[in-house]
């Protein structure tokens, strides 16, 4: 059997997905046995120009991590889509926009002004901002255009599969690679993870009745070691988050923050969590409910911590 | 014009313009990306910042997590328990062991162990293993693997940790875990000693390499920055920031809260990254020397800025380095690799000290803050430079303003200058531009362990390099490329 041709790419991301890919450890050998890595900027000496020369659909699968933030990110996403039979959004940034997607609460101008003018360490009396094209004495310099809005890979090109997580845990990565190697591929659009259910399903903490009179911030209480964190008033996102990570954060006494995205069948993770919350608040009095909810300081930024660009909200409207 | 770290694959590019006679007219090191954390952190609950800001960099999330958690201690006016501080530093020391090991063996050693002029296909970790033997190759993998286990055990997750809280950490460790970490610390110390021996055998006993380290091409006389403890010894987790001038004299020493009195950032329109400099010297452009505010914050800088190492074996190695290289400060950029190994030994020794501390398994790991949050600054030494997080919140602890000066960014002006100097020394009228030349230029920035993830993102040092040479009229005359794995 001919070896598979696999490409890996990063767009607007932190590099954690590259580290996560390497976490498959010894299984890297199995991967290399079955597949040639034809493009991976961190590790393989193939140039962008070489990819351009490849015939369309000549790459069997592309694992693409990172969100779409600049003109360069978009350009490469479109190129790799054209060259690849299967396009996989690897990790939360490509899948949902992730934490850098919180940038959609603001716009380019606000981001630039903060970074290059307003920050207290910045000394920029002429208020210089980066420009896509700049004339210097020796010639012209170019940098990619920075977009107003962070987009997911799926909002930019057609995506076949999604691998959740910030970053994906080893099991999730291997599940996808194994499917590629064996050719036993799930239906298009599948979110590939060891679990289709919520993090709660794999969390060892004891769950009883969820009735909450008050929400606490994580620094305000020391939670009981074995009891469900949400039942103790911590905003643990496990109820609205896909499992597959093994409930790592709750086992370190910290609430799940939602990095694996929504469970199967849910489009908007934030709305799902909100509906879960409303059913556990222990009150029928609208004023009291309001008071309880007011303890949550940043509902939008918390409920959409990883999924704002992919959500029904997508971005804040800036007046 | 040289254009490495390709515009399309990279998240960093270098443009080198030639003049009419084929010498170097000017150099630009551009960073083509920004992600905007300083803006979108506004509105977020402060206690979430350790987990938010670590998404700046998946290579050194531990550093952001620590700087941020310390900023929260300051912001909430809370003193972490003694055990919490020790657990954080233990975690952080273990992280340093993995990070410095990765850089030395995977990124730096190929140049020295395999050789700077070896074909790119051999200049990688496999080439290193072929030279030093499978046994050491196996040790590299094992040390990294075991320390990742330590990071996950204390930090909660393998890549982006979750244990930092104002006033402490979220989870204590058991005696069983402690005993296992102690074994790992012991083997880390042995591994670090062995690594210094490899450096001694392979690099220091080779005159060609020593001459290269001492060459003017790889030398800059700058200020040096690093975190020190109360005895002015190198510390990664806590202390004051000390800066020495190019003669090695203390220029300033400041507490995290005072960073704005000492550091400022310059903006250029052709790059998304800013250029930090010493405010009280001033921005004089891309030049070194005492009158220029350009400073460096690297392993070598930390050793230059301190009076020594806090652990005995690392102190011996520290003394040896300065005696071999002719006293302090050392301006030879390539000696940064040596300094990194001395830090590796310090990190391993510190890890062993901490894990043997009778308090380390104490369950008292949290102080609950009760003061109103307002403003906080946290500083740690990231492997790639002094890392500063500064937050201002409302009385509910919601971020109003966030300012970050990040590891690699500190060195932006310096590594730009190092690349420029190497290019100027190596590209001469009438001299052919070869693959070997590319690697020499690359060697000028490799000591900085560039993590443009912190600035843009890319694995440190593993940036593909593409060089396009343009003549004085801007016409492309030659293109060379290579990957660095």
Nearest to A76 among B8, B145, B159 (CB): B8
Q: With H, G, I as helix, E, B as strand and everything else as coil, classify residue B242.
A: strand
Q: Answer yes or no: do A58 and A169 share one domain.
A: yes
On chain A, the residues whose CB falls within 8 A of the CB of B470 are 139
**CA distance to partner chain B, nearest, from residue A50 (Å):** 11
Q: How far apart are CA A88 and CA A162, in angstroms?
A: 6
Greater pLDDT, A142 or B247: B247
In total, the C-beta contacts within 8 angstroms joining chain A to chain B are: 250
pLDDT, averaged across chain A: 92
Three-state SS across A91-152?
CHHHHHCCHHHHHHHCCHHHHHHHHHHHCCCECCCCCCCCCCEEEECCEEEECCCEEEEEEC
Q: Answer yes or no: do A66 and A171 share one domain.
A: yes
Q: Where are the alpha helices (DSSP H) in B118-238?
A: 125-132, 134-155, 175-199, 207-214
Residue A266 domain boundaries = 199-303
Among A218-227, A246-255, B364-373, B418-427, where is mean pLDDT lowest?
B418-427
Q: Residue A218, Cα to own-chain centre: how many angstroms? A: 23
Q: Do B158 and A100 touch (CB under 8 A)?
A: no
pLDDT (tens digit per residue) in A276-317:
988 899 888 889 988 888 889 999 999 999 999 999 989 988
| pLDDT band of B21, cuts 50, 70, 90 | confident
Q: What are the beta bridge partners of residue A90?
A: A163
Q: How far apart are CA B47 and CA B376, in angstroms?
A: 12
pLDDT score for A138: 84
On chain A, the residues whose CB falls within 8 A of the CB of B366 are 222
Q: Answer yes or no: do A42 and A163 share one domain.
A: yes
On chain A, the residues whose CB falls within 8 A of the CB of B32 are 70, 72, 143-144
pLDDT score for B435: 67
Q: Do A15 and B263 touch (CB under 8 A)?
A: no
The answer to whether residue A23 neighbours chain B at the CB level (below 8 Å) is yes
- In the stretch 297-316 of chain A, residues with CB closer than 8 A to chain B read 297-298, 301-302, 305
Nearest to A110 among B39, B47, B474 (CB): B39
Q: How far apart are CA B219 and CA B135, in angstroms?
A: 35
On chain B, the residues whose CB falls within 8 A of the CB of A110 are 39
- Closest-CA residue of A relative to B120 is A45
Q: Do B47 and A102 touch (CB under 8 A)?
A: no
Please indicate, yes or no, if residue A207 is contained in any of the structural domains: yes
Please indicate, yes or no, if residue A259 is contained in any of the structural domains: yes
State the best of B87, B121, B162, B461 to mutate against chain A, taking most chain A CBs within 10 Å: B162
Q: Answer yes or no: do A155 and A51 share one domain.
A: yes
| pLDDT band of A50, cuts 50, 70, 90 | confident
Q: Residue B393, Cα to own-chain centre: how many angstroms? A: 29
Q: Answer yes or no: do A49 and A123 share one domain.
A: no
Please indicate, yes or no, if residue A188 is contained in any of the structural domains: no
On chain B, the residues whose CB falls within 8 A of the CB of A130 are 34, 267-272
State the best of A8, A11, A16 to mutate against chain B, taking most chain B CBs within 10 Å: A16
pLDDT (tens digit per residue) in B143-159:
988 999 999 999 999 99
Q: How far apart are CA A9 and CA B281, in angstroms?
A: 42
pLDDT at B107 over 90: no
State the best of A44, A130, A229, A235 to mutate against chain B, taking most chain B CBs within 10 Å: A130
Q: How far apart are CA B248 and CA B304, in angstroms?
A: 7
Q: With H, G, I as helix, E, B as strand and everything else as coil, classify residue B417.
A: helix
- In the stretch 182-201 of chain A, residues with CB closer than 8 A to chain B read none
**CA distance to partner chain B, nearest, from residue A3 (Å):** 21
Q: How far apart are CA B242 and CA B234, in angstroms?
A: 10
Cβ B223 vs Cβ B294: under 8 Å:
yes
State the best of A40, A92, A254, A259 to mutate against chain B, taking most chain B CBs within 10 Å: A254
The answer to whether residue A16 neighbours chain B at the CB level (below 8 Å) is yes
The answer to whether residue A10 neighbours chain B at the CB level (below 8 Å) is yes
- How many structural domains are present in chain A? 3
pLDDT score for B477: 56
Q: Do A122 and B1 touch (CB under 8 A)?
A: no
Task: Name the percent of chain A lying above pLDDT 90.
Answer: 72
Q: Answer yes or no: do A251 and A155 share one domain.
A: no
Q: Do B59 and A105 touch (CB under 8 A)?
A: no
Cβ B384 vs Cβ B60: under 8 Å:
yes
Please indicate, yes or no, if residue A194 is contained in any of the structural domains: no
| pLDDT band of B475, cuts 50, 70, 90 | low
Q: Answer yes or no: do A68 and A164 share one domain.
A: yes
On chain B, the residues whose CB falls within 8 A of the CB of A252 are 155-157, 162-163, 170-171
Q: How far apart are CA B314 and CA B295, in angstroms?
A: 24
**CA distance to partner chain A, nearest, from residue B312 (Å):** 33
The answer to whether residue A41 neighbours chain B at the CB level (below 8 Å) is yes
Q: Do B457 and A301 touch (CB under 8 A)?
A: no
Q: Answer yes or no: do A31 and A155 share one domain.
A: yes
Q: How far apart are CA A255 and CA B45, in angstroms?
A: 14
| pLDDT band of B482, cuts 50, 70, 90 | very low
Nearest to B269 among A102, A134, A138 (CB): A134
On chain A, the residues whose CB falls within 8 A of the CB of B55 are 14, 16, 98-100, 166
Please indicate, yes or no, if residue A316 is contained in any of the structural domains: no
Q: Do A257 and B35 touch (CB under 8 A)?
A: no
On chain A, the residues whose CB falls within 8 A of the CB of B120 are 45
pLDDT score for B120: 62
| pLDDT band of B114, cuts 50, 70, 90 | confident
Average of per-residue pLDDT across B293-320: 98
The answer to whether residue A105 neighbours chain B at the CB level (below 8 Å) is yes
Cβ A104 vs Cβ A97: under 8 Å:
yes
Query: With left for phi above 0 and alpha for psi between -120 and 50, is residue B378 left, alpha or beta?
Result: beta
- Closest-CA residue of A relative to B272 is A130
Whole-structure pTM value: 0.94
Among A128-142, B73-87, B240-254, B386-400, where is mean pLDDT lowest?
A128-142
Q: Which of A145, A199, A134 is nearest to A169 (CA)?
A: A199
pLDDT score for B467: 53
Tokens, residue A317: 């409207």
Average of per-residue pLDDT across B99-111: 82
| CATH code of A167's domain | 3.40.50.700
The answer to whether residue A252 neighbours chain B at the CB level (below 8 Å) is yes
Q: Which of B404, B29, B159 is nearest to A65 (CA)?
A: B159
The winner for highest mean pLDDT among A12-26, A252-266, B412-426 is A252-266
Please indicate, yes or no, if residue A187 is contained in any of the structural domains: no
Average of per-residue pLDDT across A180-208: 95
Average of per-residue pLDDT across B262-279: 95
Q: Answer yes or no: do A161 and A84 share one domain.
A: yes
Q: Do B160 and A166 touch (CB under 8 A)?
A: yes
pLDDT (tens digit per residue) in A4-33:
999 988 888 888 898 888 778 778 778 878
Among A30-39, B39-48, B262-271, B293-302, where is mean pLDDT lowest?
A30-39
Q: Which helix (H) or strand (E) holds A179?
A: helix A170-182
Q: Do A248 and B162 touch (CB under 8 A)?
A: yes
Q: Answer yes or no: do A65 and A170 share one domain.
A: yes
Nearest to A219 among B47, B274, B396 (CB): B47
Q: Which of B325, B337, B328 is nearest to B383 (CA)?
A: B337
pLDDT at A175 over 90: yes
Burial class for A109, CB neighbours closer than 10 Å (0-12, 13-18, 19+): exposed
Q: Which of B153, A244, A252, A283 is nearest to A236 (CA)?
A: A252
Nearest to A115 among B28, B39, B451 (CB): B39
Antiparallel, parallel or unpaired: β B24-30 and B223-228: unpaired
Nearest to A42 among B274, B276, B458 (CB): B458
Q: How far apart are CA B202 and CA B208, in angstroms?
A: 11
pLDDT at B455 over 50: no
Average of per-residue pLDDT across A117-133: 96
Q: How far apart are CA B302 and CA B224, in angstroms?
A: 7
| pLDDT band of B463, cuts 50, 70, 90 | very low
Q: What are the beta bridge partners of residue A139?
A: A136
Q: Do A44 and B485 touch (CB under 8 A)?
A: yes
Q: Which of B373, B319, B429 is nearest to B46 (CA)?
A: B373
Cβ A181 vs Cβ A29: under 8 Å:
no
Residue B346 contacts by C-beta under 8 Å, 6 or more apart in sequence? Answer: B234, B309, B310, B311, B314
Nearest to A122 among B170, B274, B462 (CB): B274
| pLDDT band of B5, cuts 50, 70, 90 | very low
On chain B, the residues whose CB falls within 8 A of the CB of A69 are 33, 35
For chain B, give every domain's residue range. 13-33+425-482, 79-218+332-368, 220-331
Q: How far apart are CA B81 and CA B359, in angstroms?
A: 10
Q: Answer yes or no: do A68 and A165 share one domain.
A: yes
Q: What angle do CA B235, B241, B243 make, to 5 degrees?
A: 110
Q: What are the beta bridge partners of residue A87?
A: A62
Whole-number Cα distances in Å, B39 to A104, A124, A305, B44, B127: 10, 17, 15, 10, 44
Q: Answer yes or no: do A204 and A88 share one domain.
A: no
Q: What angle do CA A156, A160, A164 make, to 5 degrees?
A: 85
Whole-number Cα distances in Å, B65 to B10, B42, B162, B286: 26, 18, 8, 32
Average of per-residue pLDDT across B410-435: 85
- Closest-CA residue of A relative to B55 is A14
Tokens, residue B29: 């090191």
| pLDDT band of A2, cuts 50, 70, 90 | confident
Q: How many CB atoms within 10 Å of residue A95? A: 31
pLDDT at B4 over 60: no
Q: How far apart are CA A179 and CA A188, in angstroms?
A: 13
Tokens, residue A113: 């002004």
Residue listed under structure tokens 């990570």: A245
- In the stretch 151-170 of chain A, residues with CB closer than 8 A to chain B read 166-167, 169
Please indicate, yes or no, if residue A289 is contained in any of the structural domains: yes
CATH topology for B79-218+332-368 is: Cytochrome-c3 Hydrogenase; chain B (1.10.645)
Q: Which of B376, B82, B337, B390 is nearest to B203 (CA)?
A: B337
């Amino acid at each position: 059997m001919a070896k598979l041709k696999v490409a890996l790419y990063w767009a607007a991301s932190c590099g954690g997905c590259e580290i996560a890919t390497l976490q498959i450890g010894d299984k890297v050998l199995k991967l290399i046995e079955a597949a040639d890595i034809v493009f991976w900027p961190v590790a393989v000496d193939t140039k962008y120009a070489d990819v351009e020369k490849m015939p369309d659909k000549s790459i069997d699968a592309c694992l693409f991590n990172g969100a779409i933030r600049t003109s360069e990110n978009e350009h490469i996403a479109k190129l790799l889509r054209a060259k690849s039979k299967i396009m996989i959004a690897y990790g939360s940034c490509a899948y949902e926009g992730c934490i850098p997607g919180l940038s959609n609460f603001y716009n380019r101008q606000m981001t630039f002004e903060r970074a290059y003018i307003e920050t207290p360490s910045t000394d920029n009396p002429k208020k210089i901002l980066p420009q896509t094209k700049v004339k210097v004495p020796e010639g012209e310099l170019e940098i990619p255009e920075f977009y107003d809005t962070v987009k997911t890979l799926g909002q930019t090109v057609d995506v076949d599969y999604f691998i959740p997580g910030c970053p994906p845990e080893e099991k999730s990565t291997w599940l996808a690679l194994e499917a590629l190697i064996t050719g036993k591929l799930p239906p298009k659009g599948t979110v590939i993870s060891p679990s289709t259910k919520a993090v709660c399903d794999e969390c060892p903490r004891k769950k009883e009745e969820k009735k909450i009179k008050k929400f606490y911030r994580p620094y305000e209480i020391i939670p009981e070691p074995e009891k469900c964190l949400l039942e103790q008033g911590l905003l643990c996102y496990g109820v609205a988050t896909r499992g597959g990570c093994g409930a790592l954060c709750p086992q370190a006494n910290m609430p799940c923050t939602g990095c694996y995205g929504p469970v199967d069948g849910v489009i908007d993770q934030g709305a799902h969590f909100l509906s879960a919350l409303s059913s556990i608040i222990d009150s029928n009095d609208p004023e009291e409910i309001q008071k309880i909810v007011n303890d949550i300081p940043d509902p939008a930024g918390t409920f959409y911590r990883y999924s704002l660009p992919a959500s029904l909200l997508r971005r804040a409207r800036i007046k | 014009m040289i254009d490495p770290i390709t515009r399309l694959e990279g998240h960093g590019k270098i443009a080198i313009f030639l003049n009419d006679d084929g010498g170097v007219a000017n150099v630009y090191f551009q960073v083509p990306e920004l992600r905007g954390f300083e803006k979108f952190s506004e509105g977020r609950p402060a206690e979430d910042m350790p987990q938010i800001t670590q998404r700046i960099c998946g290579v050194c999330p531990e550093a952001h997590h620590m700087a941020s958690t310390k900023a929260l201690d300051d912001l909430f006016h809370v003193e972490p328990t003694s055990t919490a501080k020790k657990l954080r530093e233990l975690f952080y020391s273990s992280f340093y062991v993995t990070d410095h090991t990765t850089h030395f063996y995977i990124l730096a050693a190929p140049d020295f162990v395999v050789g700077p002029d070896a074909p790119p296909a051999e200049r990688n970790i496999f080439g290193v293993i072929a030279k030093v033997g499978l046994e050491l190759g196996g040790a590299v993998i094992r040390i990294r693997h075991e320390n990742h286990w330590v990071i996950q055990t204390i930090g909660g997750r393998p890549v982006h940790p979750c244990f930092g809280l104002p006033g402490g950490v979220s989870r204590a460790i058991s005696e069983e875990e402690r005993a296992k970490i102690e074994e790992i610390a012991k083997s880390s110390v042995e591994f670090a000693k062995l690594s210094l021996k490899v450096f001694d055998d392979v690099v220091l006993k080779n005159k060609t390499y020593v001459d290269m380290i001492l060459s003017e091409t790889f030398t800059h006389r700058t200020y040096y920055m690093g975190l020190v403890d109360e005895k002015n010894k190198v510390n990664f987790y806590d202390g004051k920031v000390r800066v020495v001038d190019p003669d090695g004299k203390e220029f300033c020493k400041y507490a995290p809260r005072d960073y704005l009195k000492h550091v400022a950032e310059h903006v250029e329109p052709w790059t998304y990254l800013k250029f930090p400099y010493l405010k009280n010297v001033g921005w004089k452009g891309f030049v070194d020397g005492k009158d220029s505010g350009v400073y460096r914050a690297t392993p070598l800088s930390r050793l230059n800025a301190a009076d020594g190492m806090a652990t005995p074996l690392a102190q011996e190695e520290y003394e040896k380095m300065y005696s071999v290289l002719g006293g302090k400060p050392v301006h030879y950029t390539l000696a940064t690799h040596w300094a990194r190994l001395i830090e590796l030994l310090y990190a391993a020794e510190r890890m062993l000290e901490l894990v043997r501390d009778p308090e380390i398994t104490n369950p008292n790991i949290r102080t609950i803050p009760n003061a109103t949050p307002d403003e906080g600054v946290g500083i740690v030494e990231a492997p790639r430079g002094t890392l500063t997080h500064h937050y201002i919140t409302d009385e509910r602890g919601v971020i109003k303003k966030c300012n970050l000066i990040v590891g690699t960014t500190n060195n932006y002006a310096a590594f730009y200058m190092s690349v420029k100097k190497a290019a100027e020394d190596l590209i001469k009228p009438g001299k052919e531009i070869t693959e070997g030349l590319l690697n020499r230029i690359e060697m000028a920035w490799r000591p900085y362990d560039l993590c443009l993830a912190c600035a843009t993102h890319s694995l440190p040092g593993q940036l593909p390099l593409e060089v396009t040479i343009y003549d004085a009229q801007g016409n492309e005359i030659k293109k060379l490329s290579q990957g660095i794995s």
